[in-house]
Amino acid sequence: NYLGIAQCALDFTANYAAERPHLGETQIARIKLAELSVELEAARLAVYACARLWEDEKVTPDSAEYNTMAAMHLARTAAMHVTVACFDICGARSTFSVYPLGNALRDARTYTLQHRDDSYLEMIGRTLLGETFSKRGEAELAVKQG
């Protein structure tokens, strides 16, 4: 969902700018579009790499889950950043309801509320500080604590 929303916003913005010479012919817009494309592709590659981890029998589920949390964070961040940056490129007129950017931003923000990114990042941070990572262990602890 995150990547699809960001890709939709980026595709719209590239087309919108290409149809408006005052946008598409500027070096700033071209550089910004390229930056957003690279950010989105990096998040996509992280998600694909995690999918491969889940299929690799040599990788533990906790390791796959740890990396998935990191990839999800990248995808969430890209979805919000790309969508907001697309508004910046297109300008105020792009907020009109005939354009998809308003819905893209709403959807990106709604998806970021479904899972608490800060709790996943906190678990990753604990691991970096030497604590054992176990997503399953977190779930079992929560059940025990009620």
Is the pLDDT at 86 greater than 90? The verdict is yes
At 83, the pLDDT band (50, 70, 90 cuts) reads very high
pLDDT digits (tens, 9 = 90+) for 41-78: 999 999 999 999 999 999 988 888 889 989 999 999 99
Q: Which residue has the tokens 């308003």?
A: 102
| Model confidence, pTM | 0.83
95-122 pLDDT tens trace: 888 889 989 999 988 888 877 788 888 8
| Burial status of residue 32 (CB atoms within 10 A of its CB: 0-12, 13-18, 19 or more) | middle
pLDDT of residue 24: 82
Residues 120, 72: Cα–Cα separation, whole Å: 9
Cα of first residue to Cα of last residue in the chain, in angstroms, is 31
What tokens were used for 111?
Answer: 């998806």
Residue 145 has pLDDT above 80, yes or no: no
